[in-house]
A and B are shown apart, each in its own frame.
Chain A
Amino acid sequence: MPQFLEHSGTSWKGQRLKHEQSLIDSLDPRLRVVAAFLFALVVVSSEQFLVLLIGLATSLLLARLAKLNFKRTLRRVIAMDMFMIFLIIMLPFTTPGEVLFSVAGLPASKEGLLHASKIALKANAVVLCLLSVVGTMSATTLGYSMARLRVPDKLVHLLLFTVRYLDVIGQEYKRMRRAMQARAFVLRTDRHTWRSIGYLIGMLLVHSLERSERIADAMKCRGYNGRFYLMDEMVLARQDYTFMVMGALFLAALTGLNFL
């Protein structure tokens, strides 16, 4: 398995990833979540090429402002593009319309190509914006800002729990895999591999469940009564209002461009 395909949960570093403070980090987290949502809404519902190009340019600018790690971001964006690459390649051949070129006797239409490039532009713009505006905050901050945005508190607590234990469980998984490797286990395409991995997952779940029972006991011991308290105060500051006005104007202009 090439290293770059092993993006992901098994390499989850959570909040330990190095990230430089940037302009984006000085904004209110709630504002960032809402802004990313509105941006996604405007970009996805736009059909004009100009708007989509501006959208992508904005995302690139945001990524620059947020001081995203270039290599890491590129790897993630490419991984996302791999998800949809078949969709993009097939579209020109399945959409009827003006024939632009043909591959092996299959005609590719102009309409299909335009449609495919629109999807690619939208998906990349949204993901880049999400990574730079929301992905740069710590997962805990994300949870808090969701709570302040009236997301049901059980869901928020579930998110906080999951984030807290991702790293712990990830370590546990690596430990068990290392133990298997020490016994000369190699992944292959056979039933032995699948059964062993099934046992591994089962054991991971059993360990996790037992851990969660200990956690619940420890929490009750410290007076947990089914309520979490959000400790932070989120107050909008001056730069937040500036951002709000600029963002609203920009999104309105972007929406307006669709009707020109």
Chain B
Amino acid sequence: MHIVDGALAGPVLAVGAALAAAGVAYGLKKMDYDHLPQVGVLSAAFFVASYIHLPIGFSSVHLILNGLIGLALGWAAFPALLVALILQAVFFGFGGFLVLGVNTFNIALPAVLMYYVCRHGITASSPRIAGIWGAIGGAGAVTLTTLMVAGSLALSGEAFWLAAKATLIAHIPVMVVEGFVTAAAVLLIRQVKPEFLNIPEEWQDA
């Protein structure tokens, strides 16, 4: 999902950086100091979890999990993902420096959108329906991210259109896997620690 430095056009980089900065600023404002350890530890957990490679036929995909990040953190997903991307770029050489803004925005905005779309769905009393909403959150976030990555490429020049389409097609298996995994994670968290997904404790009694 990372775009490297040098591929995107200047205006795309600038707009991406500005939008990401706005998102991070808003996310930081919404996150008070008491939640700092929580967001930090979760950011680390996602960093580790997003490196799990799952086999698909002869190849493998790694999870992105931005849907689950969004469901758990809401707007704080912006700073959390920016931090993860900085660490990846600086210490692992993934992505680049100037594209940090675009990459953050492409991954974090779908996370926040899925938070708003699915946060009621995952509190449904039937586990089946909640699981379906979880799957929508996981698959939807990856789909949106892929669309935005393809869009950033397509905006940078007509020559990238084929690459943009290829990105879309290549990520279809990721969307499927991500949907199943997120649904399972949501169902487990609902059982074990409902307040984590901002679900009131009494939902089980209802």
User: Which residues of A are in contact with B by a Cβ distance under 8 Å?
Assistant: 1, 5-10, 12, 36-37, 40-41, 43-45, 73, 76-77, 79-80, 83-84, 86-87, 90-91, 93-95, 112, 115, 118-123, 126-128, 130-131, 134-135, 139, 142, 152, 154-155, 157-166, 168-170, 173, 187-189, 191, 193-199, 201-206, 208-213, 215-216, 219, 226-227
Contacts and interface: CB of A to CB of B under 8 A. Distances in A.
A193 B54 contact: yes
Interface string B87-110: 101111111111000000000000
Interface string B66-104: 001000100000011011101101111111111000000
A90 B162 contact: yes
Contact of B192 (A142, A202, A213): A202
A44 B5 contact: yes
Contacts of A10: 48, 51-52
B172 interface: no
A120 B10 CA distance: 17
B43 interface: yes
B172 to A, nearest CB: 14
Given A80-B93, A201-B65, A212 B98 contact: no
Interface of B: 2, 4-7, 10, 13, 24-25, 28, 31-34, 36-45, 47-57, 60, 63, 65, 68, 72, 79-80, 82-84, 86-87, 89-98, 153, 158-163, 166, 170, 177, 180-189, 192-193, 196
Contacts of A188: 55
Interface centre among A155, A157, A205 (most CB of B within 10 A): A205
Contacts of B193: 206, 209-210
Contacts of B4: 80, 83-84, 119, 123, 127
A46 B175 CA distance: 36
A209 to B, nearest CB: 6
A159 B83 contact: yes
A216 B37 contact: yes
A165 B87 CA distance: 13
A215 B90 CA distance: 27
A215 B153 CA distance: 42
B156 to A, nearest CB: 10
A194 B158 CA distance: 37
B48 A189 contact: no
Contacts of B39: 158, 161
A212 B40 contact: yes
B38 A212 contact: yes
Contacts of A9: 47-48, 50-51
B93 A166 contact: no
Given A158-B80, A197-B54, A169 B41 contact: yes
